Structure 1
Amino acid sequence: MTQSRLAGFIRDNMEPILQAWENFARTIEPPALTMSDVDLRDHARQMLLVFADDLDTEQSDQESADKAKGLGERGHADTAAEVHAEARLLSGYTVVQLVSEYRAVRASVLTLWADDTRGGQGTDLGDVTRFNEAVDQAVAESVARYERLVKQSQNMFLAILGHDLRNPLGTLVTGSSFMMQATDVPPKYVLVATRMFNGATRMSKLINDLIDFTRTHLGPGIPIRMRQGNLAVVCDQVVNELRTFHPERQVDMRLSRRLEGQFDEGRIAQMLSNLIGNAIQHGSNDTPVTVDVNGGEEDIVIAVTNRGPVIPPDKITGIFDPLVRLVSNADADYTERTSLGIGLFVSREIAHAHGGRIDVASNAATGTTFAVTLPRRPKGLRSTDSAADHS
């Protein structure tokens, strides 16, 4: 194997290249202000040696193209670039600052290499191309690891926040409920307690959705506890609750016979509450929200329909994506328009956990319908009684 001249140059000039790396890193404030020389140079030597070894390794045209896109083949162990990204994240670097370090090391190596070749030796453009490909691969590995760690920390924060809020919120629900039922309290205080109870109940629902959202990212998915039951009972309970919470809106429900099956009553109630609440939020105030529940031989279909604005076709595919909200109209309440919008995502995950699915159809003639198809007896599903607390 013929040794690359640029690879040899990198190995022979490691110290000036590292010094240039360190000098640039010190311009990144504030993280660099509290870091030692060793910290600023961490993993740089290993990455430079990886670049040099790569230059000395023969590769095909396809391997070259893959590395230029950050898709180069790699082993099972963490690369120096991935370890470096993790260390920089813990030191407070932003992803922009992380990428800027690679720009600096690229410029440092190529500048020193160009100065060295002015003595009479020509610059090997093939070496320069290979070097750039190796740096691109390292950048891709660093950014991917950085992004994954940031997402993990964000999801963990949301999960902890949701769990920590449940206890004080439970106290608020219990206290306001006690005041609502008291007979020796003036009516004006009962009215305040009722408003507190309704607000706390809505907050509790949002927190449950938030916890379920993080479960799908940090664990195996939403836990369910399957039992034999009657879906008509669950639907009737949820619809009556929402009629109480939204007395100004009309919610019509039609139930067919034979709605028995195996499902998690709590999760189905959560899913149905999300779908009907979404229909109330985005539907027209002048037309009712309809809930149709029909039982077939193998499946039960729950269809929730509202007559609000039509969802554009290009928005349908992303409507279940987390944090996506479709603003129903300019007069919508501010907190509704800026809410997290994870209710539909959680509803889809609940349907999937039951071996079912949710389909969406939206047009001016029939309105917007979310149709949930649930098998009466899901196959291949394992009930997860542990961690099934979704109160």
Structure 2
Amino acid sequence: MTQHRLADFINANMEPLLQAWEDFARTIEPPALTMDDAELRDHARQMLLAFAKDIATPQSEPQRAAKSKGQGTRSHEDTAAETHAEARLKSGYTVVQLVSEYRALRSSVLTLWAADVKDSRATDMADVARFNEAVDQALAESVARYEHMVKQSQNMFLAILGHDLRNPLGTVVSGSSFVMQATDIPPKYILVATRMFNSAKRMSKLINDLIDFTRTHLGPGIPIRVKQGSMVEVCELMVNELRTFHPEQQIEFESPPQLDAIFDDGRIAQVLSNLIGNAVQYGSPELPVKVRLQGGVNDICITVNNRGTTIPADKISGIFDPMVRIAASVSTDYTERTSLGIGLFISREIIHAHGGKVIVTSSDREGTTFTVTMPRMPKGFGAADEGGLQR
């Protein structure tokens, strides 16, 4: 007797369904198909069995609503769809090709079933709806895993690239520094060496930013090594450095005579360099960039203000996300963008590592202000460890 329920039909017609899956998969012709026939069929078999089980399982309306929003319950083990996504990525498939397989699988099942069913019943339509839900769930799992693996591999590639560039760049820095100190060569060569040195240092900063960016996306985050130090000295050092680098821009600095804290001086200097440099880049050259350091009993506050083009309210939330900023400017000439814009993201991550936060406000009246607040003493670090703090 012909079986009309879709779950029973899938189980009873596994071989023709698997053959249709395999025939379609072979037509995609990826760059490198690493799966043999058995592996190729096994993924499809596991998903079809999961579809049949899902269709045959009673489902309440709340469960259906949750599943439609991608909030359905699932086990902690990898699903067949997730395993298939990993295999397809390693085989060279694109995400478009991955999605096309599910479209073909859906079409094969419903076409064969329609030919088998001789009459139309309400239960048939309910099974079709449940089947589509199950396929969509598997597709969502596959695409999510595929995207995660692509991002992970991209970040790993960038991290390795940044690390490998350090050594040759270090050679350029050392060599140009050596030439700059020479006294027996014409001044024009020293000038060229100076330009090489400055360019190499800027490249080094970009590479370090790139490594920090990929480190935050690979899991461990940005490491910090805290110790007691003078926040005033670090701020003055970076302000003077930016004044030297941008002699055309007035940079004002206001601070108390002394303000000690427990922090990573190198990382905080990196934050200040990014924030002040950003203020100089986007501020008005006729008006000063204002840097202000304040301290309370428990917290430190640093503000960097510039007067320039106001940041629209709908852009504020994405100001620290370089991917959002790049996506928003894809229509502009790439030569107009002077950097990848990861400095603000890294600055925020460094302050977060210190237990603080960074916020930005922008208005025509007040200009654009980045405000850093962080504790003078990180959690778990006793005052007795460093002999106390001085205000």
TM-score (normalizing by structure 2): 0.90
Counterpart of 1:171 in structure 2 is 171
Counterparts in 2 of 1:300 and 1:33: CA distance versus 1, 3 Å: closer
Q: Alpha-carbon deviations, 1:75-124, whole Å to 9, x = none?
A: 11111111001000100111111111111111100000000013x57571
The whole-number CA distance in structure 2 between the counterparts of 1:304 and 1:58 is: 59
Match of residue 387 from structure 1: none
Q: Give the secondary-structure state (helix, strand or coil) at the position aligned to 1:294.
A: strand
Aligned residue number for residue 260 of structure 1: 260
- CA RMSD for the aligned pairs? 2.4
Worse overlay, 275-284 or 177-186:
177-186
User: Relative to structure 1, is the Cα distance of residues 124 and 174 closer, same or farther in structure 2, using a 3 angstrom cutoff?
Assistant: same
The aligned counterpart of 1:57 is: 57
Residue of structure 1 in register with 2:217 after alignment: 217
CA contact (8 A) 1:67 1:136 kept: no
Q: Deviation digits for residues 324-348 of structure 1, max 9, x if unmatched? A: 4499x9xx99656152111000001
- Is the partner of 1:323 in helix, strand or coil? helix
- Match in the other structure for 1:269: 269
SS of the aligned residue for 2:92 comes to coil
Q: Could you say which residue in structure 2 is the equivalent of 1:142?
A: 142
Give the match for residue 199 of structure 2: 199
Partners of 1:252 and 1:9 lie apart in 2 by 77
Determine helix, strand or coil for the equivalent of 2:134.
helix
Alignment of 1:1-391 (within 5 A): 5-31=5-31, 36-118=36-118, 120=119, 122=121, 124-325=124-325, 337=337, 339-380=339-380
Deviates more, 1:68-77 or 1:84-93: 68-77
AA in 1 matched with 2:210: L
Q: Distance in 1 between matches of 2:90 and 2:323?
A: 27
User: For 1:292-328, what per-residue CA distance to the aligned partner results, in whole angstroms no more than 9, with x for missing partners?
Assistant: 112222222111111110111111111111334499x
User: Cα 1:326–1:50, aligned 2, differ >3 Å: closer, same or farther?
Assistant: closer
Cα gap change, 1:232 to 1:33, in 2 (>3 Å): closer
Q: How far off is 1:66 after superposition?
A: 2.7
CA distance in 2, matches of 1:213, 1:73: 33
Which stretch of structure 1 is more off in the superposition, 79-88 or 245-254?
Answer: 245-254
How far does residue 29 in structure 1 lie from its aligned partner after superposition?
Answer: 2.9
Tell me the number of residue pairs that the alignment of Structure 1 and Structure 2 aligns.
376
- Return the offset for 1:380: 3.8
Gaps of 5+ in 1: 383-391
Letter matched to residue 5 of structure 2: R
- Quick one: which amino acid aligns to residue 56 of structure 1? A
Identical aligned residues as a percent: 71
Q: Deviations over 1:25-53 (max 9, x none)?
A: 12213347776433543400111111111
Change (3 A) 1:60 1:333: closer
Residues 4 and 344 (structure 1), Cα distance of their counterparts in 2 relative to 1, 3 Å cut = farther
| Contact residue 253 and residue 291 of structure 2 kept, 8 A | yes
Quote the Cα distance in structure 2 between the aligned partners of 1:309 and 1:326: 18
Task: Give the drift of 1:172.
Answer: 1.0
Contact 1:31 1:92 in 2 (8 A): yes
Out of 26-35 and 256-265, give the one that drifted further. 26-35
For residue 386 of structure 1, what is the aligned residue in structure 2?
A: none
**Does the 8 Å contact 1:258/1:295 carry over to 2?**
no
User: CA 1:381 to 1:69, structure 2 compared with 1: closer, same or farther past 3 Å?
Assistant: farther
Gaps of 5+ in 2: 383-391
Q: Look up the equivalent residue of 2:180 and give its one-letter code.
A: M
